[in-house]
Structure 1
Amino acid sequence: MFGTAIRYLAKKGKPEMKPIELKTPPEHTQTITRVLFDIVKEHGPLTIAQTWDHVKEVGLRGLTSKRHMKIVLRWMRERQKLRLICNHVGPHKQFLYTTWFTKPNSNQVKPVHAPPHSKSP
């Protein structure tokens, strides 16, 4: 028990992350965030991949890559424009972006298919 307490106290906490600073001009940032917010609002809780597919359909020029989109989404989370929810399906987790105004609905979320469990008689 004493060793457990020492190990627990010896652990360092998470380092504080500094706020994200976007390098795009404010006009481009506003356009990008408005389009991303509209996509998430219209299509419900979305994963990163689904959001990227919708952005490619729209043809948003301000985003240079999927990585850039992920940074902007994280920036929007910091400013509480979007929130991140976790959908647990068995041992799998699925992280979804949604607006603050939508309630998480399990019917909207497409779960990751888990293998069926067999029952023993």
Structure 2
Amino acid sequence: MKREIVAVIISMATLLAASVGTAHAQNSPAGAGIDAALRGAVERKDVPGVVALLIDRDRVLYQGAFGVSDVSTGRALTADALFRIASMTKAITSAAAMQLIEQGRFGLDDPVEKYLPEFA
């Protein structure tokens, strides 16, 4: 259940940040909304802590950290905290690949060797 809640929060944060366009999300109502959603999840004890970073190419649109990194010590989370994301790299890579396909940079039916000749 907690994973679903975190996924919803991250989705909300992404949608809110996307709605700000070129404005800096932390200085906008969208940034305040992201802060409120993330802080709320921590206050409701859905998660002990959360760090979020949204970027657009080389620009930070939003960055925030709420809660604790270690429940037993109460150490606060910082924006540069590291997390073990386990098998999430597959989902992230798949999403990135689909974005490249949408941009026409490669196709689903292209052979791997076209981009990675060492796999020929």
Give the TM-score of the pair, scaled to structure 2: 0.31
Q: Which one has a larger percent helix, Structure 1 or Structure 2?
A: 2
**Larger Rg computed on CA atoms:** 1
